[in-house]
Amino acid sequence: MIRLRTVLVLLVSVCVFGLLGQGADTQNSLRFSLPPIMGSLPIALGHSWGLFKDAALDMQLVALSDNQARSLALMAGSIDGMVCDVTTALLLYTSGTQVVITSTAYQPQSGSLSILSPSYFRIDSLKDLLARTEKGNTLKSIALTQMSDLEYETDTLLSRLGYTVDPAKDYSYWHDMLQLATFLSLGSVYAAVLPEPYITYISEYPSMNPNAKLIHLSDFQGMTLLPSVIVFRRSVVEKSPDLVARFYTAYRAAIDRINSLTREELIAEGTDQALALFFPGLTKENVPDGIMDHFVIPHFDSPQMLSKTQFEDVLSWARAKRYTWKQPTYEEMTTDRFLR
């Protein structure tokens, strides 16, 4: 039975996005959702710089930290596209939502994903962590986003290290990245899997306990992390390819501009948008002095095709986890139409 919360989220999503569409130039508009991940940043900045408007495109951006709400909105046809992870795109498709992966969004670099644990738990290794997790105990778990690339990468890491994962015992599942980071910083979970910029922010944020710090139990060294991807509903790709093409014109312009700016320029021009994306409600005035100095400014590559090998690896994992029984092909879920 579908949970009441899921039904309510779906109804709210339909209502909210329906209201957003009122009065919009629907012939030249796209409704797009941005999760709080690094791959969303060029689109958020490009929108604030007017680059989509310059491309004659009315881009309506909606930033939702809840992955479930975002997926439901796409399923309902309330948004046209979004940035997401490979797993989300795959599970949307296998659940009956016709989506197309049109390109990658951001390729994470080494060190941009970590399993973190507060030092006062005195957990100093993955072996120690897994020995102390308990079934049904959220505190004594590894917190991560459910049915996500983070879960795939964590499973892959632990398997390569020889550990047998029992999700019911070892994991607690979350849908909101900011909530996950907050609970870790409050010591409400033994450990959490987090990407940048959350790693740096909560690691450098002044703790109420001056002797506490976050221990990096793993930075996924030696692993090629999955890129985030851009997906559109198939109907948009087929019926309005010119809008998607204009989206990519503005998107590439945003990437070029970001990569051309100095660190100081990007911080000056992009901090407000970055805070709104990753830490809603937080303002420049609330950011502790000096914390911005610790952030590594990412380089954004031009959009590319998702690797067929990566696609098939995630599909095999999702089927083994019984997240889906279907087996779509790489060719039916991807297109290079806007990359030629």
Q: What does the pLDDT look like over 21-71, one tens digit per residue?
A: 443 446 789 999 999 999 999 999 999 999 999 999 999 997 665 788 889
What is the rounded CA–CA span in Å between residue 292 and residue 270? Answer: 12
47-81 burial, b for 16+ CB within 10 Å, e for fewer? bbbebbeebebebbbbbbbbbbbbbbbbbeebbbb
Say yes or no: 196 and 252 in one domain.
no
Do 185 and 238 belong together in one domain?
no
Q: Would residue 246 count as lying in a domain?
A: yes
pLDDT at 209 over 80: no
pTM to 2 decimal places: 0.90
Q: Residue 64 has what pLDDT?
A: 65
Instruction: Look at residues 198, 218, 238 and tell me which one is the last residue of a structural domain.
Output: 218
The pLDDT value recorded for residue 13 is: 46
Mean pLDDT of 82-90: 97
Which residue did the predictor score with more confidence, 150 or 109? 150
Q: What are 55's two structure tokens?
A: 């491309």
Same domain, 199 and 247: no
Same domain (yes/no): 322, 244: yes
Say how many Å lie between the first and final Cα of the chain, rounded: 44
Average pLDDT over residues 158-187: 93
Neighbours of 305 (CB within 10 A): 16
Same domain assignment for residues 237 and 314: yes
Residue 234 domain flag: yes
Q: Kindly tell me if the per-residue pLDDT of 12 is higher than 60.
A: no
- For range 247-268, the mean pLDDT: 95
pLDDT more than 70, % of the chain: 90
Segment 91-140, tens digit of pLDDT: 999 999 999 999 999 999 888 999 999 999 999 999 999 999 999 999 99
Task: Please report the pLDDT score of residue 63 as a whole number.
Answer: 64
Shared domain for 189 and 319, answered yes or no, is no
Q: Is pLDDT of 6 > 50?
A: no
Average pLDDT value over all residues in the chain: 89
Shared domain check, 242 and 325 = yes
Same domain, 93 and 117: no
Distance between CA atoms of residues 331 and 338, nearest Å: 15
Report if residue 296 sits inside a domain: yes
Looking at 218, 241, 262, which one is the last position of a domain?
Answer: 218
Question: Domain for residue 139, yes or no?
Answer: yes
Distance CA 311, CA 149 (A): 11
Residue 86 lies in a domain: yes
Domain contains 280: yes
Each residue of 56-69: pLDDT tens digit? 999 999 766 578 88
30 and 93 inside one domain: yes
- Residue 339 included in any domain: no
Quick one: 185 and 252 in the same domain?
no
Asked, for residue 338, whether it belongs to a domain, the answer is no
* Alpha carbons 60 and 38: distance in angstroms, whole number: 19
From 181, 201, 218, give the residue that closes a domain: 218
If asked whether residues 102 and 128 sit together in one domain, one would say no
Which range marks the domain in which residue 312 is found?
4-107+227-333
In this predicted structure, the answer to whether residue 210 has a pLDDT above a threshold of 50 is yes
Q: Nearest to residue 329, comparing CAs of 340, 310, 318, 315?
A: 315
- Structural domain tally of the chain? 2
Residue with more model confidence, 126 or 17: 126
pLDDT reported for residue 65:
56
Residues 256 and 231 grouped into a single domain: yes
Q: Which pLDDT does position 289 carry in this prediction?
A: 78
Question: Domain holding 96: CATH number?
Answer: 3.40.190.10
